[in-house]
Structure 1
Amino acid sequence: MNWLPLIGAVALFAIGLRLSALFSGSETGFYRVSFLRLNIDANHGDQVAKRLCWFAQNPSYFVATTLIGNNLANDLTTIAISIGVAELFQQSGGSAEIITTILFTPIIFIFGELVPKNLYYRAPSMLLKRYCFWFDLFYRAFWIISVPLVSITRLLERFSPDRNKPAQLVLGRQRLAKVLEEGHLEGLLGNSQKQLVRGMFSTAAQSVLKVMIPLKKITGVTRTTEAAEIIELAKQNQLSFIPIRARGNQSEWTAYIKLVDLITSPSPIIPAVYNMPQLQTDFSMLESLYLLRNSSSAYGAVYQNGTQIGIVSQLDLVNALCSSEGPLMLNPRAL
């Protein structure tokens, strides 16, 4: 018996099995990997992550490479089994090859499909990065064959009804929530950040009226109130910013002063008075918070049809956004 062809058959079978594991596992890992994590790694200079991101942006080439690679792996294992059977059972005819193929099928399935897919499913990022060099090498080797396949795919996409739809340049709520949830699972967002995002989703679109302080409940002073009285009032109500009634219209609150300015200013000097930006009742909490932050204002005056009905505190808006316990993902029926 010539052992050289038999050794070659075993080596060819091992290569085919390994290639099957590479391409089958990579296919599972590609659909399991966090592209958010890959993008972050790529932005930090990780060349392997950049290459994987390229495949993510060109999935047709990735799919074509895996399909060609799996077919090549199956052909190699089949050829190896045929060579091995021909050397061991020279007089048996075709029955030995059929039986041997049936016996080797569970081995190929377990070690070429099942185990690699499970491994890539559990650790997609690590394994894709580890074997990216080999996958990229086979992509370049199969490029001549994969280009026609990709061209046919893109030709068929022209007849797809989704092609005429405008590109989604802005993430929808559900998609954005999914990305943020994925970021939390990947350790990119802490619990406090996730709570803030949850609050923004559940309360940001609600009206500013929900946290508005009506005129009758405002704790404030007039422009003639003594400094000692203002400081005492601030201590009793734990206020860092004290609303002031408007000049000529005691029913409106259009300005405020800072307690720190009042305490640190010498007696003859009047502390600075800050005007409140005007907010409308149809403003959302997030919109109102943006206006207050943009103008560096602690309070905003809420108006309805030209008449003031209350004020809103920037601190109350922040607390409302941070204290919500609503879900990130909405029920589709609620959309």
Structure 2
Amino acid sequence: MTGKITIGKIILGAAALCVMIGSFVVVGYVKSLFKGPDYAELPSCYPFKSAAKEKQYREYYEDRMKEWPMPSETRIIVTSYGRTAVRLSGRESAPPLVLLPSGFASSLIWLPNIEGLAPFFRIYAVDNIYDVGLSVNSRPVTTGEDLTAWLDELLTELGLDDGVTLMGLSFGGWLTSRYALVRQGRLRSAVLAAPVATLFPLPGEWAWRGIVGALPPHRFFMTHFLINWMCPNLANAKDEYKKRLLDHWMNDALMAMKCFTFRMPITPTVLTDEELRSLQIPILFLVGENEVIYPAAQAVDRLKTVAPWIVTKIIPDAGHDLTIAQTELVNSTILTFLQGIGIDSRKGYNAVR
């Protein structure tokens, strides 16, 4: 009897030890995702999974860039945070408009809007230093403060010391609001297009749908758990052009998912009433009527209550996809707003400046 109990205890102890070791392995792997890479010994292919994946992505990216609707050039700008890819379009003498992409997207996200905006502005379409695209961070980027410091360095290196209009979509919209808080004097104006968080916390549904949407088979789960939810107008569009734009958008994301290593994303935050009131430059807030990250009407109501000088516009027949689902309306709203605050987009700044 004693022998049987002892053997049983040994078996149980061994099993417990195996479970413990397995748990340490799993926990260690999860912690490694949060910790990030060793920046002292980054592989030459970082942030890609391999040299082959880097080649594949760059070839895909360059092929997509052939769709840019007008002459442009790509510059690689070096800051203390790494190398940033910026695509320039439009007359050099035109007012500067800096475009920040949404999360898990590059400057390619602005392709539908360029034709309508570049004739009036000098466009600087940026690949976020800590996201997909051709930009490569060479040091940790873990907070919103890191991103605003990087963006400030980038504008300096581009020679954009003041008079800048900064426009961001989704995560880029949130970053635009954060930058305006700390470097308001450098900006002429700002456009926040469906900024994530910013006005209300991200819903829990955003998190679990994002996780499920990244599961294989990627296209199936991305379509059914993310796109159909975030972009109902595009998902149900009958227009072949809009269907093609949605396909391109998904292909961009799927290619990035295939080629890039995981980097722990920065969580966007909500601006306090005091922070919103401190924003004294002209600001345009755009939101689709079918937005899912917060109710469009409630977002507008908060701004009208706390910072009524911020211009707001609810875009009909659009959700988080507003810049693609309603490209012409979004572009015309931006142009009307900027011309109305003293920026003559045909000749540069007018006497109101």
TM range (shorter): under 0.3
Higher share in strand:
2
Higher share in helix:
1
Q: TM-score, normalised by structure 1?
A: 0.20
Higher radius of gyration, 1 or 2? 1
Q: TM-score, normalised by structure 2?
A: 0.20
